[in-house]
Structures are given as structure tokens and as C-alpha cells.
Structure 1
């Protein structure tokens, strides 16, 4: 696929120790780029526009990169490549020995975010490390209440908890990877749509290298309304099936797999599944019970894959 490149004035000749890799499609990454620019460290930023086709957004991103002291490149694609292939393409433009995958809707929680990653590289040269994410800077909104409750329960976990299942808590929202590790294990481009390509990558990598977990969080600002969460789960069912086929021995220990296995025996699943979804989308219902219903809905979708 053809790509258009834009480099800022600091790009040429730079020799960074860390490449920050930021894909986006439709989202505006400028806030993140401005926050990263506050730390003029030995890092570069490579941004991938994965087929947004919005000239105004392109102009804003170029302007953000122009004012950044960090060496920066924008890669613009005419058509969407997808999450796995897009991140693999980002790596092809990276020049450092370590890559930091950072989603465009993240915001570092510390003013020393990049320096913490660089210190870890200097001290340990880790193969893979995940910094975690939070909701600390995400503004409360009623239509995000369900996502906030679900993420707070299962995703916003301290390093010592994540380290109990290191491969499970590997997300490209805040993920450090050493160059030689990624050269051996890239993202599987057979995944399509949303979900599981980063966790599956973590399963493969964990067979060969340790996965380090630290507390160097970034806030997930891009919380979704409940209908978007449901749509993403519907997209992810085929990806979950791909993970089960390749890593059943690992994923069979996950609660989502065990719940799907139980629901596979339930009769008339396609009749009652929409009712569970409807309850999960009902904003007047208690958030805790809605979160349970949404997890149950996901398990009912995944039952087709187990």
C-alpha cells in the first residue's frame, strides 16, 4: 500500500534510543503528541494515519509534529490496513532499539513518562514491558459509565497483579518492545477488526521471553458508549476464535473462555442473547449489573468459538 511521509525538522539525522509508535484512525492524536513533546528525551515519535482521509486532521497532526522538539514522522495511508498490519508498518519506520506502542487516545499520567521508560531500558534492557493504564484523567460522562466500570474492574490493575498473568495483560496502549523481540515475533496480520491481536502476541512472546510489568501508566481517554463496546465485542468474536485455535492451553484458564464454555451448553442462546445486550445498554439500570450483563453478552458471543 502506498504511503505519504511527513518529517519534522528534528527527524533527519536523529539517533533515538526509543521509538514511540502511535497509530490512529479518525481519532485526533494531537493532545498526546503535545504531552510527549514536554519531555525532550532521546526518543522519536512515529505516527500512522491508518486511512482516516481527513485533510484537516492531517494538517493538525503535521502542525503538532512541527512544534515538537522530538524527531517525528507522520505516515499517512490512503486506505485502512487494520490494527495488526498498521503496527507492523509503524515498526518499519522506527530507528531505535526499543519501541513504545502507545494508542492515540492515551495521556501519560506522569511528567517523567518517557524518562521512566528510558531509565528501564538503561537498567534492564527488557525484552517486553507493559506500563499499565488508568482512568485518572478521563472526565466522567454518563454515557461512559459502563466502560469506566468495566475497565476499572479488569484493566486498570497495578503491576504486581498484572504480573500474575503477564501475557494476559499485554496491550498496545502502553507497551515497550525490544527490536530483536519484535523482529522474531511481529503482530499476526490475520487478525481483522477489533481485539485480541495484542494479547495473542503476548502469548507467543511469553514462550520465549519474560514480560515485565511496571507502574508507568497512561490514562485511556477514549472511553466508549455502551453500544460501541457491544459492537467491538461482536467484531472480536472471530479474533477470539483465532486465539483459541492457536493457544487453547493458555486461554482456557481465562474467565472469558470458561464462561463461554459454560454458555455453549445453554439452549436457545441466540434468542436470549439480544435480551442480555439490551439490559447492558440500558443507561437507567445499575452500572454494576449492566457490567455483568455486558460480560455475559461477550461470553455468549464467544461461545460460538469454543
Structure 2
């Protein structure tokens, strides 16, 4: 018995829901597909009305509540003991995607949380190359061994015990904290070779803006005593704490604007990842100053 939960925002993706419907109906499976639209613009959400079927539950919010709160709301609406979360900008390529998850759960009954892979499509447009490069060189590899929220299956009772932190209203790190909290509480997390493709690439400028939002979230988390220990597992914070008492930040402060300009304009390469990490450190210092 499976509840498929999709947070939806400003992205037309009927293929995802048609594929989920097709795969679920082909299996001996009790299922539901719950989609909550987080106050998208009208042209990006009207198409959801076509999924007016018994096993679909389409909910439209009048006010945007953010990435953490919408996932908690989806779980609260779910009827079944297993929850499959998929981002609304995902693409499913494997015809046995749902079956793969069900088989994995049968073979690994002790797994409380199963994380599938996150892949990226080919990209030739230079305006989106920074996001694409980071996605393929960092996020795709991380999804093989760490938790991320774009493609994961979790037991409902485990989700109820964890929840996403709704104090985080900006983009970023809410899934990292969720995964670290699950690990700290002793829940079993497994990774599965069961990918989705992340379709919605951001422009270089938007990617950098989202990076700043994510670091701001991280700075907010650092002010919360309950996360003091687990946050030290994040490399960015470990490096920041190592150097925060030195004069390094004053020496590098002038680099911040130049780094952002370079990252937005240059063709991404291995050095770009290092520049981005330095930019994150400098922005974290800025947020905490």
C-alpha cells in the first residue's frame, strides 16, 4: 500500500503523473497519488485538473507555504503506510520504477528510508550550465550515498517521528537536516539505484540566488541548539568553524562579488566547484555576522 506524494510548484509536468498512473495500475497495488500545488501561477497549475480520478487527490493552496511545510502536509494527507516523495519537476524513465521500490522494500524490510538516485538531462544552453555542472558532478554522486528529498520512500510512522523543520522557509538544506536527524535517531537509511531525472534547470543567476538562500537557511539552523551536533557533519560548517576565529574572512571579503560574477559567466569546470564552495563559506560568514 503506497501513497505517492508530489509537491508541485510552477512547472507543467503531466508526463510524470501519467507515468505514475500507468505503472501503479499495472501492479497489484493499493495506491494513491497526492499532489499539492504550492500556490503556483495559474498557467502552471490548471493542467492538474485533468487528473480528476479516484486515486488522485489534487490540492491547490492559496498561499505558498514552502518546501518543508508542504512535505509535512502531504504526509498528513496520506492514507497508506509507505510514502514515496517525488519532486514535481521529476521525470521517470525506468518502466519498473514503482516496482523497483516495492521489490527493494521486500528485500530490505529493516530499511526505514530508501533514497533513489537523482540524475540530470543533457544541457547545451550556456545559461543553465552552472546548475547542470553542479548537478552532474556533485548532486548525482551524492544521491548514491546520502539523503535527498527529490526521490525517497519512507515508512509513514518514521516520517511522523521526524518531520521537516517548518521554521525553514527558504530553499535549501531542509533535506540535509532531515537525513542527518534520521541518522542521529538511529533510523536505517538505504540508497537504491532507482533514478528520476531532474528536469527543471535554473539559470546561472537563479542558481546563485538559490545558493545564497540555502546558505541563509544553514545559518538559521546554526542558531538552533537542537542541531548543534548533527550540523558538524556538514563539511561547509566544519570548515567555517575551523577558520571563524582567524582573520581569513576579512582578507577574502572582497572576493565575494567577483566570485559570483565569475561563476555566473564562466564555463563551469572543476575549479568552479571549488569557487562555489568558497563563495558559500563567505556568504555563510556574511549571514552570521
* Alignment-derived partner of residue 21 in structure 2: 37
What is the Cα deviation at residue 48 of structure 1?
A: 0.7
Please say if 1:108 is aligned against 2:85. Answer: no
Please give the TM-score of this superposition, normalised by the length of structure 1.
0.82
Number of matched residues?
277
Aligned-residue CA RMSD (Å): 2.3
**Aligned pairs (5 A) from 1:1-306:** 17-39=1-23, 40=25, 41=27, 42=29, 43-54=31-42, 56-63=43-50, 65-66=51-52, 71-125=55-109, 126-135=111-120, 137-157=121-141, 162=145, 169-206=146-183, 207-244=185-222, 245=224, 246-261=226-241, 264=244, 265=246, 266=248, 267-283=250-266, 285-303=267-285, 304-305=287-288
CA contact under 8 A between 2:32 and 2:55: conserved in structure 1? yes
What is the Cα deviation at residue 257 of structure 1?
A: 2.0
Q: Deviations over 1:167-198 (max 9, x none)?
A: xx211100111011011111111111101111
Instruction: Mark the CA change 1:248 to 1:57 in structure 2 (over 3 Å): closer, same or farther.
Output: same
Unaligned runs of 5+ in 1: 1-16, 163-168
Instruction: Mark the CA change 1:279 to 1:263 in structure 2 (over 3 Å): closer, same or farther.
Output: farther
Secondary structure of the corresponding residue to residue 38 of structure 1 = helix
Instruction: Mark the CA change 1:149 to 1:58 in structure 2 (over 3 Å): closer, same or farther.
Output: closer
Runs of 4+ in structure 1 over 4 Å off: none
Please give the TM-score of this superposition, normalised by the length of structure 2.
0.87
Instruction: Mark the CA change 1:146 to 1:158 in structure 2 (over 3 Å): closer, same or farther.
Output: closer
Instruction: Mark the CA change 1:52 to 1:142 in structure 2 (over 3 Å): closer, same or farther.
Output: same
Q: Deviations over 1:217-262 (max 9, x none)?
A: 1111112121111111211223112433433433324332234345
- Output the CA distance in 1 between the equivalents of 2:15 and 2:156: 27
- Output the CA distance in 1 between the equivalents of 2:118 and 2:41: 29
Unaligned runs of 5+ in 2: none
- Output the CA distance in 1 between the equivalents of 2:73 and 2:49: 19
CA contact under 8 A between 1:22 and 1:46: conserved in structure 2? yes
